[in-house]
Chain A
Amino acid sequence: MNDKSKFLCLIILGLFLTALISRNGDLVWMAFLFIFYLGTGIGQSPVREKIKLNVQRIVNKFKRDDAFFIEVVVKICNEGGNNICFFLADPLPKGMNITDGSLNLRTALCPGEQTELNYVFEAIRGSFCWENSRMTISDPFGLIATEVKIDAGAEVFVQPRLKKFRPVPLRLWKTLSSPGSIPIRMGGSGTDFWGVRDYHPGDPLKLLDWRLTARHPHKFFTREFVQEKTAEITLVLDGRPKMELAVGKESLFEMEVKAAASLAEMFLRQGNRVSLYFIGKSLLRVLPDYGKIQLHRILNCLARAKIENNGVRGPLYHLPFDLISRKSMMIVISPVDSGDINFYRRLRAIGFEVMLISPDTFDFVEPILEKDHKTHWALRASRLERKLNLSLISQLSVSVIDWRVGEALPPLIRKTLGRPLKVRKM
């Protein structure tokens, strides 16, 4: 019984009591009106066993004006033998706003009839999951209501928007043995000329250096080209709550996600092997692989990545180093904290080649800070501290990119990755 039926019972009881106290029979007759109303409602309420509803959820994702929208259509069909009055309420994912349609529907269906509830909301990035819908079935007056949970599950990912970067010519310490686009200092099959060697039986005739052969009778020479290999790149995205900053609608973490997505796309397009680790409250990972399918896996993983406020303290250490190949180059996207230096020290001790892309948090929040004397000095001190931390990290032979988020990232990466590193032995 809900509030409405309780209210009616209260009226009936009140009339009976007043009739008893005043000894007026007409009040009892008046109570009959409400008794009949309540009785009709109870009589018309459906029996749970006779309710047969088929509920189907269809989720469509579409793009309009450079934004992603998700359309949800919930189709309800009455497969029972009686008319049914119901109220359907669909949950909306947190933080989303409806742009069209309604989340609620109150209607009645006769046997065999179908209706639908549809709505559209704008989705920025994320994983959207519906497990079930809440439906309240009642009599026409809404006096006796039965709540039913309908299985209508669906899941959709809205991948982060990425920007295509121009390919960066990589010069890494370690590569994989499969052919790719990264030149290594060895002769083999490639496109750039490496040198000349003596002819070995079995060398293809098209590779013979005829000019040199003509100058040295009875001797043959074969041209060699620079061997090109692929690399393995491990992207590590920092999802610690204390690193997250939001200024109006802009979020630092969203920029980091977009950067990770764009880097993954660029490296995969160059034919490299890429993996992703997201360190937040839980560890999300995509094992290394090549190609477009791998890009989709990475983008779906980034769609699920979110900052959760009750994250674990110092989760960077939760990175499973044993599962990451020592030949891979690790690119860590993280605003730096003073306690992180030991993490990079550990990475270098294990033998990883590391690059840190550190978004400048102070540059990000500066527009909203007060322009007074105290803030100016506090900002200056914080910037000095950050520079010191980055400097300490770069002394570990870690390539550091101090990224002002308003600037384009590709030129900074090209500048850092394009040149060979000086290795300082630990």
Chain B
Amino acid sequence: MTLRKTLFFICWGLSTLLAATGFWQIGFWQGEIVVAICAIAWLFVRKKFLKFCMGSSIAVAAAGLLLGVPSPFMFFYAGLSLACWDLTSMDLSLACNLPRQKTKLYQSMRLRTLGFALGAGIFTILLGRYLSFQIPFLVMVIFIFLAIFSFDRIVHALQHKE
């Protein structure tokens, strides 16, 4: 089994476990059934209906947060579903290659980037969620201007790259 498939099954298993545990904690058994259906969908129809699997997982995570499931469970569930989505997408994009063609660098670049993106995202969420502090109004205004400036730079960079 390839590394990406192994990682997919690990992420899939962990995400299903976390989501089921979260719903079990609040005693919402219907949520556990929906999580199980999503898990089966990920296992069997992910290659044909990838966007549907991803969309349904995010919907389950959002619904869990709204129903009062402890947020770390749903954050990790969403993060691991994103990882499953990316790993399946990588699998599909490499399907056109022959076995003898070199894909090691491509795989390692993508997995490294995925790890960085998810790690930074989860770290930021946990930091922002559990560290609360007062921001002075002036600092808030500066942050807003920084955000608008950054948005403009991102759009400019996107146009430049395309």
Contacts and interface: CB of A to CB of B under 8 A. Distances in A.
| A and B pair up | yes
B82 A33 contact: yes
Interface in B123-149: 124-125, 128-129
Contacts of A46: 161
B97 A33 contact: no
Given A44-B113, A102-B96, A27 B65 contact: yes
A282 interface: no
A140 B161 contact: no
B161 A105 contact: no
Contact of A106 (B61, B94, B121, B125): B94
B125 A30 contact: yes
B118 interface: yes
Interface stretch (B4-12, B29-37, B101-109): B101-109
| Interface SS majority for chain B | helix
Of B55, B117, B125, B158, most A-chain CB atoms within 10 Å: B117
A233 interface: no
Given A37-B117, A44-B113, A142-B89, A29 B158 contact: no
A108 B120 CA distance: 24
Given A15-B58, A32-B124, A141-B113, A102 B161 contact: no
Contacts of B82: 33-34, 37
B43 to A, nearest CB: 21
B23 interface: no
Given A47-B160, A102-B97, A106-B96, A140 B116 contact: no
B21 interface: no
A30 B161 contact: no
Interface in A134-184: 139-142, 144, 146
Q: How large is the interface on A (under 10, 10 to 19, 20 to 34, 35 or more residues)?
A: 35 or more
A109 interface: yes
A106 B162 contact: no
Interface in A96-152: 101-102, 104-110, 113, 115, 139-142, 144, 146
Given A104-B96, A107-B102, A144 B158 contact: yes
A14 to B, nearest CB: 8
24 contacts: A1-B158, A15-B58, A32-B128, A33-B75, A33-B78, A33-B79, A34-B82, A36-B117, A37-B86, A37-B117, A37-B118, A39-B154, A102-B96, A104-B96, A107-B105, A108-B103, A113-B105, A140-B109, A140-B112, A141-B89, A141-B110, A144-B161, A144-B162, A146-B161
Interface of B: 51, 54-55, 58, 61-62, 65-66, 71, 74-75, 78-79, 82, 86, 89, 93-94, 96-98, 101-103, 105-106, 109-110, 112-114, 116-118, 120-122, 124-125, 128-129, 154, 157-158, 160-162
Interface of A: 1, 4, 7, 11, 14-15, 18, 22, 24, 26-27, 29-30, 32-37, 39-42, 44-48, 83, 85, 87, 101-102, 104-110, 113, 115, 139-142, 144, 146
